[in-house]
Structures are given as C-alpha cells and as structure tokens.
Amino acid sequence: MAEPSPAPRRIGAPRWLDLRLVLGVVLVLASVALGATVVSRAGDTTPSVTARHDLAAGTTLRAQDLEVSQVRLPDDGSARYLDDVDDAVGRTLARPVSRGELLPAAAVTATPARTTLTVTLAAGAAPDLRAGQRIELWLSTPACAFVVLLPDVTVQSVRAGEAGSLADAGTGQDVVIAVAPALAPRVVAAQSIEDAHLRAGVLVGGRPAATRAPVPSGSGGATMPADLAACTSSTAGR
C-alpha cells in the first residue's frame, strides 16, 4: 500500500521589506553622513592674523608686520586670536611673537606714550637691523670708550642710507625707535656730542630692560646726563 503524500504547504509571497536589509541601509547612510560631516569640518577654516617675521615684545605693530592666513581652529579658538589686521595695527606687543605664529588678542595692548626718534648708525656700527628686533645702543667718543645709551629698545623700522637720509648713502642705517618721553633727551644729547659714535647690537635672549641697571634720563632741559657729559670733548680736555 502506497504511503500518503505529505500535505502541500503554501509558500508565502516574498516580502520586499527585510529587517536586516533595512538595518544595513541605515548603517550605510549613517556612515556616509558622518564621513561627510568630518570632511566638511576639516575643510572649515577661519581667517587669523599671523606674524610675517619674528617680532619682539614692545614692537608697535604695522600692517607690513602682519598678514591674514586661513587656519583651522578649535571651537573656542576664534575668540582667542585676532582675525583682522586693522585690530592690531598701532598697538604694542606685550610678548614676543615668532614668524608664522597666530596673534593672540591677549598679546597686544594699547600703545603707551612714546617718543619716536631716528638713530643714525654708520657703516659697520651695527649688523643689518630689521623691525621687531631688540637692540642695545651704546656710545663711544675719544673721551670715553663705552657708555650704554639704551640697554634694551625695540626697532620700529629701518631705512638704509640713501640720498637725503641721515646715514651715508648705501652704507649706514637710519633706525627708528620709540622710547619713553623721559629717555628721549638722552638720545638727542648723545647724537649731539662731537665725534660721538653710536653702535648697536642685537639682543638674543637678553634680560628684560626692567632687570638691568637703570639708565639716567635727560632732564628735559639743556642739562646733559652725567654719564654722557663725561664723554664730551670739553670734559676730556680738562
């Protein structure tokens, strides 16, 4: 006797909505969205002011000292750094800033009262100077070999000797500095001494001016500081 055939089973219609397929699609879309966000944020840049060259503390900033670069900053970085050169020009650096370094808003301060002077340096009296360097100025005459004029001052600008300048054409340097008003007569008096030779050296890691011995200032009148008076020819002849 033949065995009975199994009862037929109805095959259900195929379903297009498969849970595993849905989860896979969701994961792919999430990965694509996350990758797009990361790439988009990586391309986001912020304009920030950077230094064109090394700048010493005390430099009064000029437009040619700075430039705007596009950089990527952390979320709180835009508030910490300047993004417009005009916000820095005319202000003074409170600390040194290296070439290419972003300019922090906290590194610039209002420029204190200063007197701008031009110091003429003959050929060989100093290395080639540039704006932003800290230098020491000293004086020598036939009456005295060495007197410190200014122990620490920042160069604001330099003009090589040319026609119409105070320095010899093509040889010397006219160096612009900014000093406290009380020190301006001292610099003027030094340049008026007969046979005076002014020299300068670049300070590299030197002590801040505040830790050096104080420099006698001019009185604002005709009296010459005592240390400079000792360098005059009239004193030497006595």
Residues in the chain: 238
Both 154 and 135 in a single domain? yes
Instruction: Select from 67, 91, 109 the last residue of a domain.
Output: 109
For residue 164, name the pLDDT band (cuts at 50, 70, 90). very low
Both 88 and 136 in a single domain? no
Q: Is residue 33 part of a domain?
A: no
Both 100 and 130 in a single domain? no
Q: How far apart are CA 91 and CA 94, in angstroms?
A: 10
Q: How far apart are CA 217 and CA 55, in angstroms?
A: 26
Q: How large is the average pLDDT for residues 102-129?
A: 90
Instruction: Select from 91, 109, 127 the last residue of a domain.
Output: 109
Q: How far apart are CA 131 and CA 61, in angstroms?
A: 10
Q: How far apart are CA 84 and CA 77, in angstroms?
A: 14
One-letter amino acid at 34 equals: L
Ranges assigned E (strand) in the chain: 46-51, 66-71, 92-93, 108-109, 115-121, 134-141, 144-160, 173-179, 197-202
Q: How far apart are CA 131 and CA 158, in angstroms?
A: 6
Q: Is residue 124 part of a domain?
A: yes
Both 164 and 227 in a single domain? yes
Q: Is residue 37 part of a domain?
A: no
Both 120 and 230 in a single domain? yes
Q: What is the DSSP letter of 105?
A: G
Instruction: Select from 109, 127, 158 the last residue of a domain.
Output: 109
Residue located via tokens 């050296």 = 201
pTM: 0.62
Q: What is the DSSP letter of 151?
A: E
Both 68 and 165 in a single domain? no
Q: Is residue 7 part of a domain?
A: no
Q: What is the DSSP letter of 85?
A: G
The residue segments making up the domain with residue 163 are 115-236
Q: Is residue 34 part of a domain?
A: no
Q: Is residue 129 part of a domain?
A: yes
Both 156 and 206 in a single domain? yes
Q: Is residue 186 part of a domain?
A: yes
Both 176 and 125 in a single domain? yes
Q: What does the pLDDT look like over 188-235, one tens digit per residue?
A: 999 888 888 999 999 886 554 443 444 555 444 445 778 888 888 654
Q: What does the pLDDT look like over 41-80, one tens digit per residue?
A: 555 778 889 999 999 888 889 999 999 988 887 766 667 8
Number of domains in the chain: 2
Q: Is residue 20 part of a domain?
A: no
CATH number at residue 76: 3.90.1210.10
Helix (H) or strand (E) holding 216: none
